[in-house]
Amino acid sequence: MAVGSIVFAALALACAGLGVITTPIPVLGAVFSFGAPALALAGVVMGGVAMSRGKRARTSTDAAVAGVIFNGLCFVPALLTALTCGVCNALWSGGKIEARRDFHFDVQAGTPRQGASPGQPGRAPEPPSQRPGATPQPDQPPAAAPPGAAPPPAFPPPPIQQPRAAPEEPQ
């Protein structure tokens, strides 16, 4: 059970990574993203049980302790992946958001750089370099991504962009 706990931690970490990579793929990304913390929690439970049994049987609990610590450390990034990529993929799969190549988060300014801003419903205007006939600036991204490249998702969707009946938020 202690070894199983360590295996679960490795699987959780792998699932979290796959969750990030497969975010644009409907359903699959959510399966990986939400599966990662579930695996880490299962690993924690297995490690704890192994610790308890080892203590009662007076055998070594080192592997179990390692499993618990490893799973605990994996749980944090796994949960963050679930709450970002997993929720994003769930929105994506439900057809609630529109993927936009030009969407970027701007933490410092507190607003998405090229997304919709408050009071501006609908699609944001294209930057000058992406307008037909405009000259691309050296410090700006190219207008079109390489063929076959998956577009990054716009998460969370700007509320103004797609008005909903009610914000789906924790109570």
> Which residues contact another protein (rule: CB under 8 A)?
20, 37-38, 41-42, 44-55, 61, 64, 68, 72, 75-76, 79-80, 83-85, 87, 90-91, 94, 96, 104-105, 107, 110-112, 115-118, 145, 149, 152, 155-156, 158-160, 163, 165-171
Burial 83-114 (b: 16+ CB within 10 A, else e): ebbbbbbbbbeeeebeebbbbeeeeeeeebeb
Closest CB to another protein among residues 132, 169: 169
Q: Which is nearer to another protein, 15 or 68 (CB)?
A: 68
With respect to another protein, which residue has the nearer C-beta, 117 or 132?
Answer: 117
CB 128 to another protein: min, Å: 21
Q: Do 33 and 81 form a contact (C-beta atoms < 8 A)? A: yes
Question: SS3 of 41, please?
Answer: helix
Closest approach of another protein to the CB of residue 110, in Å: 5
d(CA 121, CA 28): 31
The amino acid at 100: R
